Structures are given as structure tokens and as C-alpha cells.
Structure 1
């Protein structure tokens, strides 16, 4: 495909250090990078880059994003929780960004969250959503009730986080800009404008 390609790059300042070498020593072959491999891939379009960047920003404030968690660990966390309890984690597959892990009727399971056609879709599903949280909302509200509650761990959530979700649930994401509150409070609401 022609056109510009965009890439998210992780930088490590220690990679730029140069060890002094004497004239009698031959140059050593480069050593493999000790940093863990990243699953971030080149983007074909700016739109894909924007979708993933926005999703990551929201996920950081969601409480149910667990980052680079292995499938076995995710399934162990979900095994004794109620049906439909879910979390989002980084995919271990090189060409996929996120994986949804949830407690199904026959035990914990995981499904890849694909980025295709300018939106997010679960592997094997024909439904595509412009926002990852629309995808989650769809499966929470579906008659099958595949998803119910996000898993945020055992630590107590802050009153601010609980209040933010309650405000968004009461007024809706589209009404945040009209709320009679300070600009700073609106900015806080926009960090995670979802009731999930």
C-alpha cells in the first residue's frame, strides 16, 4: 500500500551510550536489545494511529486495562469471578494491539480485539465500532450478556473515579461540555468519559 506509514516507537536513552574502545580491540558485534519486544506495529494511516492513541489514553484511566499480562495470568484472575467479568490487556500477538479476556460460562477465555476498517472488532465478529468502549458497551448491553462488569483488581477505587463514572452515566458523554462545572473538572471527566 502506498502512502506514509506511521510508527509508534519506544525510546530507551541507555541505547544511545557508546563504550570507549581502544585501537587494538576489534569492534564487538551489536548485542540484541534487552528491552521486551513491543507489539506496536507500523500504522498504514494516521486514522489508525489516532484510534490506538486515543484508546490507550482512555484505557489508562479505565482501571481495567492490565497492560502486558499473559493469558494464563488473566484467566487465573478471572476464574473465580462472576460470569461476564472482563479486562483488557495487551495482545501477545505481534499484529494485534489488545485482547479482551472475560469469564465465560465454561471458564475464562480471551478474544483478540482487531483494528480493521477504521474501527475495532472482536475476532470472528462482523460488528465494527469506531471506539473500543462502544465495542465493550455493545457486548455489555447485548441479550447474551457476554460481558457484565470490568475487573479492576482488589484495591478500592477512589471516590473521584467512582464519581466520574456516575456523572457520565447520569448525563452522558455528549453532555459533558454543557455541565455547569469548572473547566478543570470537565477536563477530568474527559480523561475517561465512559460509565463502564
Structure 2
């Protein structure tokens, strides 16, 4: 599309997504055009909380999180409207779901929530994605990488888990730039 007049898939110009696509690709847990069945096969023997992000097979959505829940592998669409990402859910839960500037911020939020909350507390928060028959816990604890991440990338994630003040670290500027290129902790 030209400008930001809106397109059928994203309600905004696809150019608006470019920085987000770069961060999603750098994450290592974005699998691209994987189908739901292929994602289910990858997650088949994984523990609860294991997840990956892939392209959505539905026209109105860009991305889907495929994750293992207590009920087995499931797929959660990521909605993109007005420049923000959020999980798609039933109407009753939608107002409680947070919106994010990027897919990686969305995933990071739910990973952090999964790390710090127990299941009972999560059922009462915005982290629970509702199914028609009740609440299903969304735990995102372990990403499935497309390939083994480099030691540098894993180190960057570990540093970003510990501090958001990378510029204050006694490191060369080139290394600080590398750390801030992917400033997420997942």
C-alpha cells in the first residue's frame, strides 16, 4: 500500500512493520510460514510453556504463537491494529489484553509474566487467553529456536535480563550497540 492508508492484513502500511520484522527475525524463535500442523509436530513432545512464533495462515492476522498448554499444543493469533499488537481472544477478555509496539515486546511480556507468576495468579490476569468453554493458561517459558542460537545472542539475552541500562556498562561502544540492537530478554 502507499502511505499508511491501511491494507487488508494489517490495518496499516506494511512499511510500519519493518523494524519489528527485523527484531522478530533476530529472536530466533520465529519460524516463518510454518503451518499449524507443522508447528504441532514440532511442539508434540515439548513441555508446557514451550512456544514458537510463525506466520498466521489466516488472512486477517500476521503472526500466530504456537504454544504447549496444559491441554496440549494450541495456536494463538496475534492481532495487529492501529500500529499495536495484542493476542486475539474472545470479546469478554479482549479489553483486558495489553497492546504492544512489537511482536517481540508482546512475547517478552508474556514470558516475563510466566516466569514471575504462578498458575493461580495468572488465571486472574491478562495472561490468560480465553477459550469458549473457559480459561486456558498461556505460559510462555521456553522458545523453540529455528537453529541453535549463537553464544553472542544468548549472552545478549542474559545481559538484557539483568539490566536495561546497557549504556552504563563498562563495555566498548561497539558491544553496547550489539546489545541494544536486540534489547529483549527472550
Query: TM-score, with normalisation over the residues of structure 1?
Result: 0.70
Counterpart of 2:158 in structure 1 is 166
Most deviating of 104-113 and 121-130: 121-130
CA distance in 2, matches of 1:63, 1:42: 24
CA distance in 1, matches of 2:144, 2:71: 18
Please list every run of 5 or more consecutive structure 2 residues that lacks an aligned counterpart in the other structure.
123-137
Q: Determine which structure has more spread, i.e. the larger CA radius of gyration.
A: 1
1:160 partner SS: helix
Q: How many aligned residue pairs are there? A: 157
**Contact 1:5 1:43 (8 Å CA) reproduced:** no
> CA-to-partner distance for each residue in 1:120-144, whole Å, 9 max, x for gaps?
1111133222232332233221543
1:132 aligns with 2:106: no
Cα distance, 1:184 vs structure 2: 2.0
> CA-to-partner distance for each residue in 1:76-113, whole Å, 9 max, x for gaps?
10110110101000111222111110001111110110
Counterpart of 1:191 in structure 2 is 181
Cα distance, 1:62 vs structure 2: 0.7
**Contact 1:86 1:103 (8 Å CA) reproduced:** yes
Counterpart of 2:166 in structure 1 is 176
1:147-166 alignment, distance < 5 Å: 147-153=140-146, 155-166=147-158
Most deviating of 76-85 and 186-195: 186-195
Question: CA-atom RMSD, angstroms?
Answer: 2.5
Counterpart of 1:85 in structure 2 is 50
**Contact 2:10 2:61 (8 Å CA) reproduced:** no
Query: TM-score, with normalisation over the residues of structure 2?
Result: 0.73
